[in-house]
Amino acid sequence: MSVDSDDVTVEDKKSDGENEEILESKDNEEKVEEDKEQEETDKNKSKRMYNPWKEVAIRAESERRYMENELIKLQKEVQQLYQELKKLKSPPLIIGEIVDVLDDNRVVVKSTTGPNFVVQVANFVDKSKISVGTRVSLNRDSLSVIGILSSSKDPIISEAEIIEKPKVSFKDIGGLETQIKEIKESVELPLVKPELFRKVGIDPPTGVLLIGSPGTGKTLLAQAVAQETNATFIRLVGSELVQKYIGEGGRLVRELFALAKEKSPSIIFIDELDAIAAKRIDTGTSADREVQRTLMQLLAELDGFDPLIDVRIIGASNRPDILDSALLRPGRFDRIIEVPLPNYEARLEILQIHTKRMNLNKDVDVEEIATKTDGLSGAELKAICTEAGMFAIRENHYSVSKHNFDLAIDKVKKSETLSQIKEMGAMFA
């Protein structure tokens, strides 16, 4: 019995030892799990603790990038300002013109300061672009050529070229058949069929002068020529050639004809020619003498050493009595075309042109209107048609009646009478 009890106790002890070991292992596992949970909890706490610092770091990084961009932008602005300041501090250059090209990399220049100089050409200047007449920039101290300038023209001359041609044809001009024929023969035919003149053995007329009262159609003839031909049309008013300083008017005339030769075949139309072509007198102010210098330059360009090839000149004036005789001689203005006030047939034709688009009543008789408008110009006939339409609009009508034309004729004739009275008063003043 004792042995058995001992065996039992030994087995119990073994089982108890095993149970203890199992309990210990479980405890160890639980400890490990608790340690892991604690570590994860600590990590989460550390993460939560450092999140604000991470946001601060991100914000600081974005601010750093912004400041770098601002620094680059400010550096560019400083560089631009430095370049502008350098330009402002740079000495002014003198404009000159090449008179002669020498063999030893030197040129003769005529500067704006006065005399001619023999100067050197900088190495960085393209020698192939330097020729007689080239505009160059000169150093202020040594007068050496340091740049080539473009040959620019005065804005008055460059803007005189008509790009969009007028929408006026010879069909829109009434009562001037003879004048249209003469201007076609003198201006249009030499540009369109120059071989006819070569076969006959004559030179075509250089210039045509249109004279006549205001409103007779001188400018309309020039506009029709511009529309009918493919030549370059250059229009200028005579008063635009009158300048303040000595030599400026002559320079404009030279540039005008240089542009016409460059754009040839071309037509130059000088309106109100009497502004620069009045008779020369011995006495006068300095302004009068400057106008006379401009006229002399015009005379030289019309009939000088350089022939005008494929260039035609049209002049217009309503004061032919004050024009200089040198301008009217053959070789300059070869043909003088008088544009008179319209007669009955011409007035009838002009009225038919201006009323063909109007909505007229049946009581309107164009022939009667032509009879009542004796002594009026073509511009005044057009004004009568316009005024008649305005009277119809004032009465809220869609068609023009005879009564409207009667009112328009009275109004235009009244304004014509007032202008004549003012002219007579100016003559006696």
CATH number, domain of 120, equals 2.40.50.140
Same domain, 331 and 263: yes
* Structural domain includes residue 46: no
Q: Is residue 234 part of a domain?
A: yes
The DSSP H or E segment spanning 404 is helix 402-428
One domain, residues 70 and 139: no
Which CATH number do you get for residue 323?
3.40.50.300
Q: Take residue 317 and report the two structure tokens written for it.
A: 């004036």
Kindly state whether residues 188 and 137 are assigned to the same domain.
Answer: no
> What is residue 43's DSSP assignment?
H
Residue 49 falls inside a structural domain: no
Q: Domain limits at 118? A: 94-148
What CA–CA distance (Å, rounded) separates 429 from 421? 12
- 337 CB neighbour count, 10 Å cutoff: 22
Domain final position from 316, 338, 360: 338
The per-residue pLDDT for 203 is: 79
pLDDT averaged over 10-residue windows placed end to end, the chain, 429 residues: 48 57 66 71 59 76 89 91 82 83 84 78 84 83 84 70 76 84 85 83 83 86 83 83 77 84 84 83 70 83 75 86 83 84 87 87 87 86 89 88 88 70 46
Does residue 35 form part of some domain? no
Sequence letter at residue 420: Q
My answer on whether 224 and 188 are in the same domain is yes
- Residues 320 and 184 placed together within one structural domain of the fold: yes
Say if residue 408 is in the same domain as residue 302. Answer: no
User: Residue type at 424?
Assistant: M
In a domain, 397, yes or no: yes
- Is the model's pTM score more than 0.85? no
Residue pointed to by tokens 């003469």: 182
Residue 74: the pLDDT is 92
Has residue 14 been placed in a domain?
no
Residues 6+ apart with CB under 8 A from 193: none
Q: Are residues 134 and 100 in the same domain?
A: yes
Q: What is the pLDDT of residues 380-397, one digit of tens each?
A: 888 888 998 999 899 888
- Our count of domains for the chain comes to 4
* pLDDT for 150: 76
CATH number of the structural domain spanning residue 355: 1.10.8.60
- Asked which of 338, 363, 395 is the last residue of a domain, the reply is 338
Q: Which residue has the tokens 């000159």?
A: 96
The answer to whether residue 37 is domain-embedded is: no
Please check whether residues 106 and 73 belong to one and the same domain.
no
Residue 79 shares a structural domain with residue 167: no
Q: Do residues 293 and 389 both lie within one domain?
A: no
**Are 195 and 297 part of one and the same domain?**
yes
Residue 188 DSSP one-character state: I
CA atoms of 96 and 84, how far apart (whole Å): 25
Say if strands 266-271 and 311-317 run parallel, antiparallel, or are unpaired: parallel
- At 153, phi and psi to the nearest 5? -105, 160
DSSP secondary structure of 141-167: TT--EEEE------HHHHTTEESS--S
What pLDDT digit, counting tens, does each position of 99-139 carry?
888 877 888 988 766 678 888 888 888 888 888 878 888 88
Q: Count, in order, helices (H) and strands (E) of the chain.
A: 13, 11
On whether residue 23 sits in a domain, the answer given is no
Sequential DSSP letters for 74-141: HHHHHHHHHHHHHHHHSPPPEEEEEEEE-SSSEEEEEETTSSEEEEEB-TTS-GGG--TT-EEEE-TT
Tokens 């989460």 identify what position? 44
- Picking from 318, 338, 358, the residue at the C-terminal end of a domain is 338
Whole-angstrom CA distances from 367 to 90, 403, 413 are: 75, 15, 18
149, amino acid identity: L
Residues 114 and 101 in one domain: yes
